[in-house]
Structure 1
Amino acid sequence: MSLGDCNRLLVPISKQDHIQGRVSTSVTLVQYGDYQCPTCGEVHRLIKATQQQLNDLCFVFRHFPQPQIHPYAQRAAEAVEAAATQGQFWQMHDILFTHQQALGNDYLVEYANNLGLDIPQFLQNISSQVHIDRINQDIESGLHSGVTVAPALFINGIRYTSRWNIEQLMAAIVTASH
């Protein structure tokens, strides 16, 4: 792998991905994230603000939990996937980023309950770890594209390396859209 490859998204977006917006739009953001990572929480707020300003943005979230530094990240990713099986991925995704300090099992069940999820099914999905392969595929795709820590952001397949602020992110998106 050449140095240039480390800044490119090498695993294309597929039906397996969690996608907000239309893939056919002019700009696609792909984030590799960890629900317990404070910087990922900041990036989540930046992306939300960006989505409010640009209505033709495609956003893809891929899991990149870092359990060695964030002990709740893996279980949080499993909880989001369990919510996804009940059609509530983005709702749970937003809740977990809003409540990053409260990701223990009791909180995850409370959030699932607030979303009206089938709790026995939710708990069964998590306890049997049915989503581990899905999460590991995201991690592998990140590693393949040179991601070593979260957050990592790609704009139209190119790694975003500027500062995590709205002005620079918007400038990068506008540049990518032309």
Structure 2
Amino acid sequence: MSERDKNNTQLSFPVNESRDHIQGPVTAAVTLVEYGDYECPYCAQAYLIVKEVQERLGNKVRFVFRNFPLTRLRPHAYQSALAVETAAAQGKFWEMYDFLFKHGQSLTDDNLELSAAKLGLNVNKFDLEFRDRTYSRHVDEDIQSGEESGVTKTPTFFINGDRYDDSWDLDSLLSELDEASVFSWRQTEQ
């Protein structure tokens, strides 16, 4: 990652409805993008906070998750991201995302494949695509977009395209999202 990329505070790759994994309406006042890693204990904490934010803000927030496996620190990070993208091909991205953050103690290849079975995926198709790394390009594109957006750790959040570097505890994040929502609303009024 270049020094220029490390200093970037803007989301370099805008949210793309056809490639990103999105929860919430396109008309939401605020878009929250997270770069995360399924093996990261801080991302597991952030997972619960984001769920609470979504529950409280409802249709006011659109949430996007992008993979940013920190492979130098976590041995199963890339494979976990690959498993989620493989599940996405069968329409089960969010189910696998939830499952891994809720049960992600041991993210070995065998356990990832067992997760697919528990979620009711076509296991033969999943196993073949997972082992062939069919969706590695999607993971690699997420990593590249993160690096070009200055992401160096997980979780990293962007609110309406701006990197959010403050505390991501529930109250701080809700306050920032509320402020961004008001700003967004004022922009549309002008």
- Does TM-score exceed 0.5, indicating one fold? yes
The Cα offsets for residues 141-174 of structure 1, whole Å up to 9 and x where unpaired, read as 0111111122110011111111121000000000
Contact 2:86 2:135 in 1 (8 A): yes
TM-score (structure 2 length as normaliser) = 0.90
Cα 1:5–1:177 shift into 2, 3 Å: farther
Please identify runs of 4+ aligned residues in structure 1 that moved more than 6 A: 1-5
Letter in 1 for 2:15: I
Structure holding more helix per residue: 2
Q: Specify which of 130, 135, 141 is matched with residue 131 of structure 1.
A: 135
Q: Secondary structure at the match of 2:168?
A: coil
Correspondence 1:12 to 2:18: no
Note the residue ranges of structure 1 that are not aligned, 5 or more in a row: none
CA distance in 2, matches of 1:48, 1:58: 12
Q: Which residue of 1 aligns with 2:27?
A: 24
Q: 2:119 aligns with which of 115, 120, 124?
A: 115
- Asked whether 1:173 is paired with 2:177, we answer yes
- 1:5 Cα offset (Å): 6.3
CA displacement at 1:59 relative to structure 2: 0.4
Q: Counterpart of 1:34 in structure 2: which amino acid?
A: D
Q: Percent identity?
A: 41
How many residues align? The count is: 178
CA distance, structure 2, for counterparts of residue 45 and residue 112 of structure 1: 22
- After TM superposition, the score normalised by the length of structure 1 is 0.95
Give the aligned residue type for 2:54. Answer: Q
1:67 aligns with 2:75: no
Is this contact kept in 1: 2:34–2:65, CA < 8 A?
yes
Distance of 1:68 and 1:169 partners within structure 2: 28
